[in-house]
Structure formats: C-alpha cells, structure tokens
Copies of this chain bind each other. A is one copy, B any other.
Amino acid sequence: MEKQTITIYDVAREANVSMATVSRVVNGNPNVKPVTRKKVLEVIDRLDYRPNAVARGLASKKTTTVGVIIPDISNAYFSALARGIDDVATMYKYNIILASSDGQTEKEVNVLNTLLSKQVDGIVFMGYHITDELRAEFSRSKTPVVLAGAIDPDQQVGSVNIDYAKACKEATELLAKNGNKEIALVTGSLLDPINGKQRLNGYKEALKEANLPYKEGLVFETVYDHKIVEDLAERIINSGATSAIVTQDVLALGILNAIQDRGIKVPEEFEIVTSNNTFLTEVARPKITTTSQPLYDIGAVSMRLLTKLMNKEEVEEKQIILPHGFKIKDSTKK
C-alpha cells in the first residue's frame, strides 16, 4: 500500500480548524490565536506534515525559486560567481535551478524558456555576449533578469560588473611603466563587448598615454583550451612581445608555464598580468600579478539586486559597477 501523502486538509481535520487556519500557521500569519496555533503545530508535528511547494506555487504564483544560467559550472570563474549567487539566494530563502548553456546562444534561449515554464521568480544570467535573440526573450516575459559579469548594451535588465576598461588600462600602464614596448593582450572573443569594447579600449588608451603604438599583431583573441596553450605561447613569443595581459587565470597560468618551460625567465625576461585573482595566481610559481575582480561579490550583489527586482522595490540604478583591485605579485618586475 502506498504511503498516503499528508495534506493541509488532513491537518485541518485533525486539528478541528479550517484549511485557511492551517495555511496561516504555516505561513506565519500573525492573525491566529496562540492556542490555535499551538494546536495546529502539534498536529503538523504528529502527522509529519510538509507543505507542498508546488501546490503553493500554483496558488500563489510565486515559487521562491530563481533560475541561474551558467556557461560551465566547472569553470572556476563562473563557479565563484555561482557561490556568491547561491549564498545570497539561501539568505533570502530562494532555491536555485541551475541551467548550463555552454555559452551557446541556442541553448541559452532554450534553458531560459525552460526556466520560465518552471515559473521561476527571477533569473541570474552568466555568459559572454548577449545576443539580440536573447535580449528579445528577456523582454518577452516580465520575469526580472540580472546579468552577472555580463553587459547589456540596452540596459534593459539589471547587471553587475566591474569597470573592465579601467582594470585593463591599469594593467597596461604597469607594464608600460616597467619599460615594456611590446605588450600583448590575450583575451576571449572580441565580439564579447567586455573584451572587444571595454578591455580593448582600456588597453589602447593606456598605450596612447604611454606613447606606444597600437599593433594588431599583439592582440590575441582566443578561447581557452588545454591544447591551445603551447601554440599560443609560441605565437606570443614570436610576436616580439615582452609582456602580456591575459584575461583568464587558467590561460595565464598555462602561458606562464609554457614560457618558463622554454627557459625564459619570468619576470626578468617576460612579464605577465592576469585578471581574476583566483587561487591559481597564488599556486603559480612565480605568483601572478593580477587585477582582482570581486567574483564572489559580483554574484552576491547580482542576486541581491534580483531580490529587490522580484520584490518590486525601487532601485535607483540597475547597472551596478563594483570596485576592483590590483595585486602586484611576482610575475611582474614591480
């Protein structure tokens, strides 16, 4: 015989009250006489009653669940963001439906729709660039959306980022000040506005202020891949670069190793700066000088912003820029 599920109705019957009263007790509604509350709580305990969140979601049109779209959960950058998102979500009693996109637009649209069909109260989106198609989907529903570490040119949805241009400019400035004439920039796809607009601009600006010419041959657009690192390092060296700014820690570490494996001394003969200050910059030898993005905070603040949006609170500014830092370690002369 199947074990019968206990419903709110069973509790009401046993406690000699109405379903509404049980509902009030369960939801902490103060309009219940203490005696009644006590009686109901006893029955709930005795029957081992657990409210059915799905039924509740249907009736109230709130699921206390948010969707989180992530390109790759096993990527340290994204999982750091996810950690921040998750902690704040827990704090505000939300659960998270995690959906992987592999950074592919088609899948992004797909999972977005699945999440919406599951009636999530809001969505945090991590990814590279936001295609028009995706933006269209965002505005098609009234479910609030926040981008964590991604930029929406339209500024229709919320977003949390750092000032990538400034960060990249600072890194370039340091390398220029250290006497480098040939500074390589190694980034992800330039189609992604964070790279192609912000970072590239910051880089160019710093070059100009240092009276260094901008050379296309020093800009390396790449996707991270274990096998590509050796070849990439080779090309960077051949380009004549004496230093490099890398926008991803794993990649920077790979390049650092490849360069040193060739007998080139870091930082004496080659300097390298990276971008995310994950623990990889610490376990590398030498430790890598890095921009420090507050990854956890970007995630946390995104989720916090989303709670406000879901709650229909007034937010003065939906486009949040968090401060970043710069940590000089041992992969640069100073």
* Cβ < 8 Å to B, chain A residues 1-53: 3, 48, 50-53
Residue of B nearest to A67 (CB): B95
Question: What is the interface size of chain A, counting residues whose CB is below 8 A from a CB of the partner?
Answer: 51
Interface residues of A in 161-186 (CB under 8 A from B): none
A73 close to B83 (CB less than 8 A): yes
- Stretch from A115-123, A150-158, A206-214 forming part of the interface with B: A115-123
Which of B52, B58, B68, B285 lies in contact with A55, CB distance below 8 A? B58
Copies of this chain held together in the complex: 2
A86 touches B58 (CB 8 A): no
Which residues of chain B have C-beta atoms less than 8 A from A285's C-beta? 257, 260, 285
Contact of A86 among B73, B87, B95 (CB under 8 A): B73
Contact with A279, one of B83, B117, B119, B226 (Cβ below 8 angstroms): B226
Give chain B nearest CB distance to A52 CB in angstroms: 6
A74/B80 in contact, CB under 8 A:
yes
Q: Is the CB of B83 within 8 A of A113?
A: no
A100 within 8 A of B: yes
Q: Would you give the shortest CB distance from A259 to chain B, in whole angstroms? A: 12
Q: Which residues from chain B contact A68 at a C-beta distance below 8 Å?
A: 98
Known contacts A80-B74, A83-B72; is-contact A98 B96 (Cβ 8 Å): yes
Interface pairs (7), CB distance under 8 Å: A3-B142, A51-B117, A53-B117, A54-B58, A54-B119, A73-B86, A226-B282
